[in-house]
Structures are given as C-alpha cells and as structure tokens.
Amino acid sequence: MENLTQKDVNKLNSNRGLKAILSKEPYNIERAIRYVDYERKLKKLQLELIKLQTWAIEKDERIIVIFEGRDAAGKGGAIRRITERINPRHMRIVALPKPNEDERTQWYFQRYVERFPKAGEMVFFDRSWYNRAVVEPVNGFCTEKEYEVFMNQVNDFERMILESGIRLVKIYMSINKREQAKRFNDIKNDPLKQWKMTPVDEKAQELWDDYTEYKRTMFSKTNTVVSPWKVIRANRKTIARVNVINHILKSIPYDKNIKV
C-alpha cells in the first residue's frame, strides 16, 4: 500500500494495528487499517448498546432480537459482538436444539414464548421460530401441513408480541453461495471450529436453491409494516456486525443521553 498518511501510520503503530498486521499472513497493511477502523467503530457502538440496555433496565423494557440467515452467515459472531460488553444478568442468548418429544406435541411457538424476556431484559435468538419457515421444510423436518399452519399464524403471533409491549427486531444475515462454501471450508480445516459443522450444514450447498425459494416466500409473507425484516449483507463479517448493531440501535428509541 502506497502513500500512507500520518493518521494511517498512527493506526498501525497502535496495539490494535500491530495485532491486525501480525494476525494473518501474508501481511496486508490495508486490511490492518480497515480492522483498526472497525475496532474503533465497534467500541463506540458497544457503548451505545450499554446505554440501550441501561435504558431498558430502567424503563422495564422487554426486547427480542432474532437472527436468521443461511448456515455460516455470521449470526453467532454478530451476537457475540453485541453482547460482549453489556450486563450478562439482564440479557440472554437463546439457541434452541431440535424439539424434544414433549415439545413436539406442543403448540409450535410455545417453547419460544417460554424464553421471552422479563422486564428489563434483552433476549437474542440465534435462529428462532422462523426455523419452520425455511430450515425445517427444506430438510424435511416438518410436514407441509405444519409449514402451512406456521405461515398462517406467524404474523398474528408477532402482532400479539408487539401489542404486549415487547420490542421485536428481525434480522436476516445474507451471504452468497461462494462465500458460504469458503466459510464451510475454513470451519472444516480449523480444529477449533469443526464442532460447528452439522449434518444440516453439510447439505446446505446442495440445497441452496431450495433455501432461496423458501426464503423468498418467508420475506413475501412476513415482511410486514409492523414487523419488518432487515436484511444485512454479510459477505464481509466486520461490516455486517457494524450494520447489525446500527440497525438495532436505530430500531429501539432508547435515551442516547442516559448516564452509564
């Protein structure tokens, strides 16, 4: 990279800058500068998230943020950046496994409702009831009738959530097929990440077009005026995380002047 400004040099001479340069080979100065800028933006946004949480606690607000998207889209990473600085006693991350025998006999939404926030709490769903809109029908985990019932009920369900006073933010993280393949390959070759790969993930590339079809139907029927989706382009993880946090902050009218 040519023509470094003094500002760029100062960034690279910082602890963050040196870490960014040395973290990956081959060394890439431009990438390191971008990462330093990202870290600074993230720190400022995390301070705003602390203000948001403080406001929610003081006002007994209940907040749900749901994350959907293709496998390896970066949902978990975004949630980690959102929650790493806020008070863990007033927030929860919910990532439910497949339903057990009892849950399969219940109303589909019931096990999600049981994890809803109490006053002053924020709950982040790493996948949500929208499993039944895309993942389950694509992989044959539900019947056509169960899918149809869900699609007929979900908008009314969310309307009741909102009318009860809970604030609901719906985020869909979108990556392209090539990026998903690259991330799967990275996961498979990293011993620290291999546990993330599931049988569903293994079939995701093969079923790409089926996922696309159900995703489009989901958006067409559930992207409502009162409960809209926000699609976050997530091929670049750092940009996606910043955009996710910005959207959450814009979606909830917290007191930006609150003392923390």
Provide the H-helix boundaries in the chain.
6-12, 15-22, 29-58, 75-83, 101-104, 110-113, 135-139, 144-163, 177-188, 199-202, 208-222, 237-251
pLDDT in tens, the chain (260 residues): 457 777 665 656 666 655 655 566 555 677 778 888 999 999 999 999 999 999 999 999 999 999 999 999 999 999 999 999 999 999 999 999 999 999 999 999 999 999 999 999 999 999 999 999 999 999 999 999 999 999 999 999 999 999 999 999 999 999 999 999 999 999 999 999 999 999 999 999 999 999 999 999 999 999 999 999 999 999 999 999 999 999 999 999 999 999 99
Are the CB atoms for 226 and 159 separated by under 8 Å?
A: yes
Does the pTM exceed 0.85? yes
The one-letter amino acid at 107: W
Let me know the angle formed at the C-alpha of 65 by 75 and 170, rounded to the nearest 5 degrees. 80
Identify the CATH class of 6-251: alpha beta
The pLDDT of residue 1 is: 46
Q: Can you state the angle between helices 237-251 and 75-83, rounded to 10 degrees? A: 60
255: helix, strand or coil:
coil
91: helix, strand or coil:
strand
Query: Is the backbone of residue 3 left (phi > 0), alpha (psi -120 to 50) or beta?
Result: left
Give, in order, the Cα–Cα distances in Å from 215 to each of 70, 174, 192, 257.
10, 11, 30, 39
The CA distance from 135 to 57, in Å, is 34
Domain edges within the chain? 6-251
The pLDDT of residue 26 is: 57
